[in-house]
Structure 1
Amino acid sequence: MTSRTPSLPRAAALVGPYASGKTSLLESLLFTCGTIARKGRTRDGSTVGDSSPEARSRQMSVEPNIATAQYLDETWTFIDCPGSVEFKQDSLNALAVIDAAVVVCEPDPARAVMVAPMLKFLNENKIPHLLFINKVDTAGTRLTETLEALQAVSDRPLVLREVPIREGETVTGYIDLVSERAYRYRPGQPSDLIRIPDEIQSEESKARQELLEHLADFDDRLMEELLEDIQPPPNELYQDLSRDLADNLIVPVFFGSAENNSGIRRLLKALRHDVPGPATTASRLGIAADGPPMAQIFKSVHAQHTGKLSYGRVWRGEFADNQTVGDSRISGLYLPTATGPAKAARVGTGDVAAFGRLDSIPTGGVLCVDSSAALPWTKPLSPLFALAVAAEKKGDDVKLTGVLAKLCEEDPSLVLDHSEFGELVLRGQGEIHLLVAIDRLKSRFNMQVITRKPTVPYKETIRKATSVHGRHKKQSGGHGQFGDVYLDITPLPRGSGFQFRETVVGGVVPRHFIPAVEQGVTESLSQGALGFPVVDLSVTLTQGSYHAVDSSDMAFKTAARIGMAEGMPQCEPILLEPVLLVELSVPSDYTAKAQRIVSGRRGQILGFDAREGWPGWDTVNAYLPQAEMDDLIVELRSLTMGVGTFAWTFDHLQELTGRVADKVIEARREALAAE
C-alpha cells in the first residue's frame, strides 16, 4: 500500500446491540493505540467507558463514551454508543457527526435481526459503516452462517475482508483477502505474519473472488480485468474499497475478539486507510467548505457545579477558549480523553471537543458567528413509556421542573409535560431510560423524587337528560349573595364535547350574569359524579331569578355549580376510557406474538401488513385502551429480541363498564379522598 499524508482528525462511532461488546472494543482500540497502558474489563467496572454511577450500577452503557486517541500519525475520536434501544437517541445524535460507524455484533445468526434497525438507519442516511463480528473466540457458529443472516437484514452488500484461520473450533488468525497475507493472533501484540495454511487455500480463493465481484459491480475497469482473468493489483482494490465505503455502496466485514485484543489492529488499519475525512463528511452533509468556523453540538451535559458542557464536531475553521462566537462565548474548551475532558487552548477542523457554557445552543444546534446557521438534525424519538414524578421534599417542585428540563435538553427523547390531573409526567424510551434519568436527578442535583404510574385520562359522560334548579342565597349582614338558575342537562353524541346555550326571556337572568353561569357550569365539568372530567353534553340555561342588590357574578357561578352537582348524578353517568390507535412494528417471525400481546391487553386487532421499506417486517394495527399501554414496550421488546417498537395516536373514547370500571372509579375516589 502506498504511503499517505496524515489526515485531519477523524471520528468513528461504535454502535450495535446491547452486550455485543462495544465498550470492550473501545478499551481495546485505546489500548492498541497506546492511549491507555492497561485494559480494563466491563465485568469489574474498570473500563474507560461506562464510568458514571448509573452505568456502573447497571453494567451497561447509558450515555456515549467519548475518547480521543492517536494511531500511527493520525488523530481519532471514538464514540462508544449505548447498545440498549432505550438510549438510542444518543446513538443517533452521535451518528450525525461522525465519518464512519463500526457496527459491532455477535457471531450468532439468530441475533442478526438485532442489527437490522441500525443498519437501516445507516443506509437511509448514507453513513459509511463497517461490520465487526466480535467474540469469534467463543462461538461455535461458522462465520459464513452469521454473514448470511446479516446480509438478510442489510440493504448494502456485505463484503468479507478476511477469512478466519482455525485450529479446531478456535479462530487463531486471519487471511487478508486483498494482500493475500496470513496472520496469527498474539493477544496484546501485533499479529505474526505466517504462510497461508494449505487446508484453507480454496476457501480463501473463493472468498477473494466474491470480494472482487462485489467491487467490480461499482468499477467497470475491474470488471473488465476479471473477465480477462487479469489479477488486479492490491492498490487498485484498496482504492475501490475506500471509495465504495465513502459512497456507502458496500459494508466491509471484519471479525475478532475485543476481549482478547484479536483483530483490533486490522480494524484500525482499515479505518485509517478507508474511512473518509471530515471534509468528505461535511460535503455529504451539505456543509460548504468555505465560510466562518462552524461546529455542531451532538451532546449536552449539565452538572451541578461545573455548568453545561456541549460536545460538538468542528466542521471548519478553529475555535479558541474565551472566544466570542456570534451570541455565545466559549467559557472552557476541552478534548475528550481516556481520563476525562482535558483543557485545550484551541480546536480545529475534524476535532470533537467540549465547549463550556454554551447555554443558548441546544443539542443539534450550531456554533457559528452566524447565529441563524442551522444544519439538518435527527428528529427526536417519540416517547414509549411514562412515569409521574414528584419532589420528595415539599417546596422543591420548581427546582424539580428546572433540573428535569436540563435532562431533557441533554437527551431530546426525554419529554416533560403536565397532565390534566396536575401531575408532572416524564416520558421516554423505556423503564430503564426513565430510571436512569431519576438516578441522575439524585447523583447530579441532589434531587430525591417519588415516582408512580401516570393517571390514565379517563373521562365520563351521561346517558340521560334532566332538568335541575340551582339556587345560592346567603345573607350575613350588608350585601348578601343571590343567584338562581334552572338548567337542562342533555347528552350529546360521542366526540361532540361541551355546548352551553341559554333560552332566557324576559330578563329573569340579566345578560351580564350569563357568562358567570357558563363559567360555573364549565368549572363543574372538571370533576363529575365519578370523579373525572365530563364530556359530550349540552347545558341550557332556561330561566332563573335575581336580586337587584345581592346578585353578582360569583353568586350566579355558585348557583350553576350547585345545580350541576345536583343534576349530574341523575343523568346516569358512565365512565369513558381513552383508546389509542397503535401501530406495532416487528420482524415477521414475531407477528403472531405481537397479535397475542394486543389480545391480552383488551385490544382490538385491525389487521397487519408488510412494513413499507422494511423487508421481512410487519406492521400490526390495533385499538388499545390507554390503560393497557403502561409496559407495552417492555413486553414487546422482550418477545422480539429488543427490536419491536410501536407508534400511537389518540383515537376515541369508549364506554367502560363492569368490574374494570368499578375498580377505576374506586381508585379515583380513594385518590381524591387522599388529596
Structure 2
Amino acid sequence: MTGKTVSLPRAAALVGPFSSGKTSLLEALLFRAEAIPRQGRIKDGNTVGDASVEARARLMSVEPNLAGVEYLGERWTFIDCPGSVEFQQDTYNVLMAVDAAIVVCEPDPARAVMVAPLLKFLDEHGVPHLLFINKIDSNGTRLRETLEALQGVSDRPLVLREVPIREGEQVTGFIDLVSERAYKYRPGQKSDLIKIPDAIKEEEQLARQEMLEHLADFDDHLMEELLEDITPPQQELYDDLARDLADDLIVPVFFGSAENDGGITRLWKALRHDVPAPTATAARLGFTNGGAATAQVFKTVHAAHTGKLSWARVLRGEFADAQALAGGKVSGLYLPAVGTAAKMTKAGLGDVVGFGRLDNAQTGDVLGGDDQGGTLWPKPLEPLFALALEAEKKGDDVKLSGALTKLAEEDPSYRLEQNAEFGETVLWGQGEIHLLVALERLKSRFGLGVVTHKPTVPYKETIKKPVSVHGRHKKQSGGHGQFGDVHVDIRPQPRGAGFVFEDKIVGGAVPRQYIPAVEDGVVDFLKQGALGFPVVDIAVTLTDGSYHAVDSSDMAFKTAARIAMAEGMPQCDPVLLEPILAVEISVPTDFTSKAQRIITGRRGQILGFDAKEGWAGWDQVSAYLPQAEMGDLIVELRSLTMGVGTFGWRFDHLQELSGRAATQVVDARKESLAKKG
C-alpha cells in the first residue's frame, strides 16, 4: 500500500438507502477492530447503532449513531446515518464534517436509483466517498449489472477495486486489482491468501485494465506507461487511488457481506490507506491552516442526563473542558465510544467531540475560529409534511413549545409554525415517519402527550357583487348611552388587490375622530366573513352616518361598522377562495408519468415538464396544486418512486371553489367554529 502513516483521528460516515445494511456494516467494522466481542443483529435488537427506543421499534436508524474505535493504532469515529430520506438532514450535516463517506448499497440494479440523491450531494460538496456493495452473498447477485446501474446515477467514475471469486452462485472471496492477489473469506477471521483461479484470470485482467484507464484519466504519467505497455508500479497505483479519492475524482467500489463478515478487512485497509486526513476536510470546508482553534457543530442532542450536547468536528487547534466558547462555558467534553461516550479533558485536530451545555451553539455553527470557513454548510431542507398539534393536558402549552424548539434544534428540517389565524401550532417535517418520531420523543423525553390533526387549510373568501348597507348601534343604559350610525358601500376588488377602506363623509355627518374606529370595525369583521373565513379583495366606503354629541364613541362606531358588515356581506354573493400552490416535482425520468398522474388525481393542473438541470436522467414536473390536496403528497410520491421523488412548493394564487366541494369546506368550518364556542 502507500505506506502512509496517519496519526490524526479520522471520521467516516456510513450512508445509503434504508435496509442496505449500514448498521450491520458498523457492527462488522467494530467487530473486526475487536471493539465488540461479537456482532449484533438488527432483528435481535443488540446492535451498537440504532439503540434508541424509536429506532429499535422501527428496526431502522432515526438519528446518527456515533462509535469511536481504535484499529491498528489509529483512532476512528464512524457515524452510522439514517437511511430513510425523511431523516436526510442529519445525514447531510454529518457528511459535511467527516473525512469520507462509505455509501452502502445492495447488489440490485433496480435499487441503484435510490442512491442518486446521496451521490449528488456528495459530489456537489466534494466529499470523498467509496461504495460498498453489501449482501454480495445473497442469491442472484448481479454485480456487473449493479455497477452499471450505479454508474448511471453517479457523476464520478466508479472504479472497481476487486472482482469476486465464486463457487457456483456463492461469492467466496475476491481478487485485489492492484496487488493482483486472491483471498478467500473466513468469517470471523482474516481472509486466506490463495492462488488466482484460472477461470477468473481473464475477467480479472479486463477489470484491472478498466481500473488503470480510469486512473490514467487523472495521471498523465500513468497514461504514458499504459500507452508504452509498461506495467506501473503498485505504489504509483495506490498513490493515485488515494489522491483521486481525496479530490473526489473517482469512487472506489468494494463489495462484501456485513452480516457474514465478508470483505470487512479489505474495507478497513482501504479506509486506513486512502481516506484523507482531517486537514483536507478543514480545507474543503474553507478553513485555512493556522489560526484559532476551530470546530464545526454537525449534530445537537438534548440528553436527559447531560443536557444539551453539541457534537462537532475539531478542524483546527485544541479545545479544553471549562473554556469559554460560543458565549458560554464548556461543561464537559465527550469522545464517542462503543456504548456511553467517554469524558475527556482536551480535544484536538480530527477529534469528533461533544461539547456539553453550550446553550447558544446551533447545528452548523463554527465554534472558535477567526476566519469565514464553514460557509458551505447545507441549508435546512424545505418542509414537506405537516401536523397541527396541541398538548393533551391543559397548561402544557408552554412546555410543549419549549420541547418542540429543542427537537428543531436537534434536526433543523423540523419547522415550528404558530398559525395565529386559526390558533394552531403546526409542526412541519420531511414525512409522516419523521413527524411520528418527533411525537414519540415528546412523550419519552419530555413526558408530553399530544393530540394531532391535519392543519387547517387557509381558505379565504371574497364577494362577487356590491351592496350598500346601513348599520346602527344604539344602546341606552344608566349614564351615557352608546350611539354609532354608518352607511357603507361594499364592493369586490380584483383578485390580489387586497383590502381598501375609503370615506366620503361630507358635512361632518361622522366626525373625523370616529372614522378610524369605523375602519377598525370593518377590519375586525373581515377576520371571519359570512362563510367563516378571512375576507380578501374587498373595498368598503363610508358614505354617510350620524352621531350623538354625548353618547357617540370609538367603540360605538366600531360596533356599528361590524353590524353593517354582518348585514351586508351575505348579500354580496360571498364565494370561497382556495389557495393554489406552484409545485415542482423532481423524479427520475422512469417515474415522470406516475408523477403526472399523481397531480391530475389531486385536482392539479400540469404546466409542463423538462429535464432537471444538473441531474442526468431526472425530470422536473411543474404544476398548480390546491393546498388542500398537499397533505400526504410526499407519502404517495415516495411510494411510487422508490423513495427518491420529492418536490418544492410556494403559494401562487387564490382560486374560486364552488359546488359540493365548497359546501363541504364551509360546513366543516361552521362545525369547527361551533365547537370552539
Q: Which residue of 1 aligns with 2:636?
A: 635
Q: CA deviation at 1:44?
A: 1.6
SS in 1 for 2:622: strand
Q: CA deviation at 1:304?
A: 4.3
CA contact (8 A) 1:330 1:357 kept: yes
Q: CA deviation at 1:75?
A: 0.6
Is residue 581 from structure 1 mapped to residue 582 from structure 2 by the alignment? yes
Q: Which residue of 2 aligns with 1:499?
A: 500
Q: Which residue of 2 aligns with 1:481?
A: 482
Deviations, residues 191-240 of structure 1 (Å, cap 9, x unaligned): 01111001000000110011111111111111111111111111110000
SS in 2 for 1:337: coil
CA contact (8 A) 2:580 2:653 kept: yes
Could you tell me the TM-score, scaled by structure 2's length?
A: 0.98
Query: 1:289-300 to 2 correspondence within 5 Å?
Result: 289-300=289-300
Could you tell me the TM-score, scaled by structure 1's length?
A: 0.99
Q: In 2, distance between residues paired with 1:502 and 1:598?
A: 46
Q: CA deviation at 1:25?
A: 0.6
Q: Which residue of 1 aligns with 2:377?
A: 377
Q: CA deviation at 1:342?
A: 1.2
Q: In 2, distance between residues paired with 1:200 and 1:465?
A: 86
Query: 1:598-613 to 2 correspondence within 5 Å?
Result: 598-613=599-614
Letter in 2 for 1:235: Q
Q: Which residue of 1 aligns with 2:617?
A: 616
Deviations, residues 146-174 of structure 1 (Å, cap 9, x unaligned): 00000011111000000000011110000
Aligned residues with identical type, % of pairs: 72
Q: Which residue of 2 aligns with 1:459?
A: 460
Letter in 2 for 1:284: R
Q: Which residue of 2 aligns with 1:438?
A: 439
SS in 1 for 2:97: coil
Q: CA deviation at 1:346?
A: 1.2
CA contact (8 A) 2:291 2:370 kept: no
Q: Which residue of 2 aligns with 1:656?
A: 657
Residue 371 to residue 204, structure 1, CA distance change in 2 (3 Å): closer
SS in 2 for 1:662: helix
SS in 1 for 2:598: helix
Letter in 1 for 2:286: G
Query: 1:339-418 to 2 correspondence within 5 Å?
Result: 339-368=339-368, 375-418=375-418
Q: CA deviation at 1:371?
A: 10
Q: Which residue of 2 aligns with 1:253?
A: 253
Q: Which residue of 2 aligns with 1:171?
A: 171
SS in 1 for 2:172: strand
Letter in 1 for 2:240: D
Deviations, residues 452-495 of structure 1 (Å, cap 9, x unaligned): 10000000111111111111111110111111111100011111
Q: CA deviation at 1:142?
A: 2.1
Deviations, residues 267-322 of structure 1 (Å, cap 9, x unaligned): 11101000100011111221011011111101001134431000000011111111
Is residue 428 from structure 1 mapped to residue 429 from structure 2 by the alignment? yes
Q: In 1, distance between residues paired with 2:332 and 2:473?
A: 66
Q: In 2, distance between residues paired with 1:645 and 1:500?
A: 43
CA contact (8 A) 1:326 1:370 kept: no
Q: CA deviation at 1:328?
A: 2.4
Q: Which residue of 2 aligns with 1:207?
A: 207
Q: Which residue of 2 aligns with 1:546?
A: 547
Q: CA deviation at 1:374?
A: 5.6
Is residue 592 from structure 1 mapped to residue 589 from structure 2 by the alignment? no
Is residue 268 from structure 1 mapped to residue 268 from structure 2 by the alignment? yes
Q: In 2, distance between residues paired with 1:663 and 1:183?
A: 69
Q: Which residue of 1 aligns with 2:101?
A: 101
Q: Which residue of 1 aligns with 2:279?
A: 279
Q: In 2, distance between residues paired with 1:344 and 1:480?
A: 76
CA contact (8 A) 2:109 2:142 kept: no
Residue 346 to residue 520, structure 1, CA distance change in 2 (3 Å): same
Q: Which residue of 2 aligns with 1:523?
A: 524
CA contact (8 A) 1:177 1:204 kept: yes
Letter in 1 for 2:399: K
Structure 2, unaligned runs of 5 or more: none
Q: In 2, distance between residues paired with 1:370 and 1:248?
A: 28
Q: Which residue of 2 aligns with 1:645?
A: 646
Letter in 1 for 2:137: D
CA contact (8 A) 1:390 1:397 kept: yes
Q: CA deviation at 1:35?
A: 1.0
SS in 2 for 1:215: helix
Q: CA deviation at 1:337?
A: 1.1
Letter in 1 for 2:197: P
Letter in 2 for 1:433: H
Q: Which residue of 2 aligns with 1:220?
A: 220
Letter in 1 for 2:555: M
Letter in 2 for 1:275: V
Letter in 2 for 1:35: A
Q: In 2, distance between residues paired with 1:104 and 1:284?
A: 23
CA contact (8 A) 1:13 1:80 kept: yes
Residue 171 to residue 373, structure 1, CA distance change in 2 (3 Å): closer
Query: 1:137-156 to 2 correspondence within 5 Å?
Result: 137-156=137-156
SS in 2 for 1:340: coil
Q: In 2, distance between residues paired with 1:6 and 1:470?
A: 84
CA contact (8 A) 1:636 1:644 kept: yes
Letter in 2 for 1:446: G
Q: Which residue of 1 aligns with 2:28?
A: 28
Q: CA deviation at 1:3?
A: 3.4
Q: Which residue of 2 aligns with 1:565?
A: 566
Q: In 2, distance between residues paired with 1:643 and 1:570?
A: 50
Q: In 2, distance between residues paired with 1:480 and 1:607?
A: 64
Q: Which residue of 1 aligns with 2:53?
A: 53
Structure 1, unaligned runs of 5 or more: none
CA contact (8 A) 2:582 2:649 kept: yes
Q: In 2, distance between residues paired with 1:424 and 1:146?
A: 46
Q: CA deviation at 1:369?
A: 6.2
CA contact (8 A) 2:287 2:372 kept: no
**Which range is displaced more, 299-308 or 56-65?**
299-308
Q: In 2, distance between residues paired with 1:476 and 1:35?
A: 86
How many residues were matched structurally? 675
CA contact (8 A) 1:326 1:369 kept: no
CA contact (8 A) 1:590 1:640 kept: yes
Letter in 2 for 1:83: G
Q: In 2, distance between residues paired with 1:632 and 1:6?
A: 48
Q: CA deviation at 1:659?
A: 1.1
SS in 1 for 2:192: strand
CA contact (8 A) 1:107 1:139 kept: no
Letter in 2 for 1:616: G
Q: In 2, distance between residues paired with 1:536 and 1:205?
A: 74
Residue 258 to residue 120, structure 1, CA distance change in 2 (3 Å): same
**Which range is displaced more, 315-324 or 213-222?**
315-324
Letter in 1 for 2:224: E
Q: In 2, distance between residues paired with 1:535 and 1:326?
A: 46
Q: In 2, distance between residues paired with 1:196 and 1:304?
A: 55
> What is the RMSD of the two structures over their aligned residues, measured on CA atoms?
1.1
